[in-house]
Structure 1
Amino acid sequence: MPDHFTLISIALTFLLAGTVKGVIGLGLPSVSLALLTASLGLPQAMALLLVPSFVTNIWQAAVGGNARVILLRIWPFLILASVTVWLGAAALTRVDLAWLSALLGILLIVYALLSLSGLRLSLSPGRERWAGPLLGGLNGVLTGMTGSFVFPGILFLQAIGLPRDLLIQSMGMLFTVSTIALGFSLKGNNLLTAELGGLSAAAVIPALIGMVLGQRLRRRLPETLFRRLFFISLLLLGLYIIADAGW
């Protein structure tokens, strides 16, 4: 059983991550993964984010009434993004975790820099057909290796020109299938224990409380400013994780 300080740290991490998601609609997996990796280690962080990520993203994936339209368009991307997670997760028991933690730091930095730059790629329908499975497979492998769901999957979903509502719902779908695949992969590699599973389930409570707080804060805070602060924080966390892995 973790000590009281560790339990409080986990609860505060998911409270913060839930608040961020409540304000800007994303960031719970990224924030919780980055903070927990820095304090507990990569495999533990990946296991702890499973249930809060699933619970907070399944609703985002289901609401909107556009699931059929989205699935008809991106189903090859989603399938590859989920079935290749186990390939990446195999590295957790075969590769030095310091290298994988550093890789997570790099992904967070790239994601933050691209978001801060405002860069938006564009894919034609012809390129979308082959890029979807390719980028989905790469996203799945990186998810299995680092627990990060966002790169390059989010870039692909933005590049194909989905309207805002469809983009948000498709992101929820990506995060949901990735979370499920990651859970099975961690379990298959004996990295998801009953204790970590129980802690992950308990972490849903502070995550949901944080989301409610974040939704209330959204009315008072400029979302653009909060988004910028979020990505700057991710950038700094990525740098810290790389430095910690190197040390």
Structure 2
Amino acid sequence: MSEASILLLSAIAAVFLLAGFVKGVIGLGLPTVAMGLLGAIMAPAQAAALLIIPSFVTNVWQLVAGPRMWPLLRRLWLMMLGVCAGTWAGAGWLTGEGAGRATVGLGIALVVYALVSLAAVRLHVPARAEPWLSPVVGAATGLITAATGVFVIPAVPYLQALDLDKEALVQALGLSFTVSTVALAAGLARDGAFAAPLAGTSLLALVPALAGMLAGQYLRLRVQPVTFRRWFLLGLLALGAYLTLRPWL
């Protein structure tokens, strides 16, 4: 193995260790951190392919860790269908000629997510609006997932606006991220971007991701998550701005 390959694998391991740590502390952020950092050193489609297995396993873990999975699935199934449809419709954006624009799109998505979260905008979705708004939000999330590999916008603000209690919100995020990961994997596989070599590396990346997640969960009991979350979002804002402006730097 060449020195360059060793350095690349070390960088991938470090990224997933950090991304898993962030997820362990605040319950989300693994795909956002991983795509943001990996997007600076490799093509977006490659970064998204590496994300698949660590994201799937950690999100399933988050989804099944509580008692509300089936009620949430009955409530959010239209949103999940929208995620699948949107991701499938946008499949190929990460692997086609627009891959460079996908990196800029990722940067914009990170900036928007960080600004919305830092502003602590409190939205509320009335129950009567859920039947038509859920599939719209799901489809928009799927399209952004297909273009950037990040599935937090607009899914996370929407789920927060449903006024779920803390544990239900954590599980709802796990459900949304799990479905988004599977839909993204299907789209990448259709375009040949999730082939055996990258799948093997993605499996290896699961180890540092789980280690980071366990460390983050341990630390979550000993630090103020609000403080950590604020600095995390400021870091995402800076990273997103860099990815957005990189073509002109």
TM-score category of the 2 structures, normalised to the smaller one: over 0.9
**Alignment partner of 2:209 out of 207, 213, 224:** 207
Q: Which residue of 2 aligns with 1:45?
A: 47
Q: Which residue of 2 aligns with 1:129?
A: 131
Q: Which residue of 1 aligns with 2:112?
A: 110
Alignment of 1:153-172 (within 5 A): 153-172=155-174
Shift in alpha-carbon separation, 1:98–1:246, aligned structure 2, 3 A: farther
Task: Verify the 8 A CA contact 1:17 1:29 in the aligned structure 2.
Answer: yes
* Shift of residue 89, structure 1, vs aligned partner: 1.9
Q: Which residue of 1 aligns with 2:11?
A: 9
Point out the more displaced range, 58-67 or 27-36.
Answer: 58-67
Point out the more displaced range, 89-98 or 36-45.
Answer: 89-98
Q: Which residue of 1 aligns with 2:149?
A: 147
- The answer to whether structure 1 residue 58 and structure 2 residue 87 are counterparts is no
Q: TM-score, normalised by structure 2?
A: 0.95
CA distance in 2, matches of 1:176, 1:136: 13
Task: Verify the 8 A CA contact 2:66 2:171 in the aligned structure 1.
Answer: yes
CA distance in 1, matches of 2:129, 2:35: 32
Identity value in percent: 43
Task: Verify the 8 A CA contact 1:101 1:245 in the aligned structure 2.
Answer: no
Shift in alpha-carbon separation, 1:86–1:240, aligned structure 2, 3 A: same
CA distance in 1, matches of 2:95, 2:52: 19
Deviations 1:40-83 (A, max 9, x none): 12111100010000010001111211112111211100111123
CA distance in 2, matches of 1:60, 1:219: 17
Q: TM-score, normalised by structure 1?
A: 0.96
Task: Verify the 8 A CA contact 2:45 2:95 in the aligned structure 1.
Answer: no
Runs of 5+ unmatched residues, structure 1:
none
**Alignment partner of 2:92 out of 84, 90, 93:** 90
* Shift of residue 190, structure 1, vs aligned partner: 1.2
* Shift of residue 226, structure 1, vs aligned partner: 0.3
Aligned to 1:120, the other structure's residue is in SS state coil
Q: CA RMSD in A?
A: 1.4
Runs of 4+ in 1 over 4 A off after TM superposition: none
Task: Verify the 8 A CA contact 2:23 2:30 in the aligned structure 1.
Answer: yes
Q: Which residue of 2 aligns with 1:173?
A: 175
Point out the more displaced range, 233-242 or 91-100.
Answer: 91-100
CA distance in 2, matches of 1:96, 1:245: 13
Point out the more displaced range, 58-67 or 214-223.
Answer: 214-223
Q: Which residue of 2 aligns with 1:20?
A: 22
- The answer to whether structure 1 residue 188 and structure 2 residue 190 are counterparts is yes
Task: Verify the 8 A CA contact 1:61 1:172 in the aligned structure 2.
Answer: yes
CA distance in 2, matches of 1:164, 1:23: 14
* Shift of residue 220, structure 1, vs aligned partner: 2.9
Point out the more displaced range, 167-176 or 236-245.
Answer: 236-245
Q: How many residues align?
A: 247
CA distance in 2, matches of 1:142, 1:234: 17
Runs of 5+ unmatched residues, structure 2:
none
Deviations 1:214-240 (A, max 9, x none): 122223322111000110111111011
Shift in alpha-carbon separation, 1:245–1:195, aligned structure 2, 3 A: farther
CA distance in 2, matches of 1:194, 1:109: 33
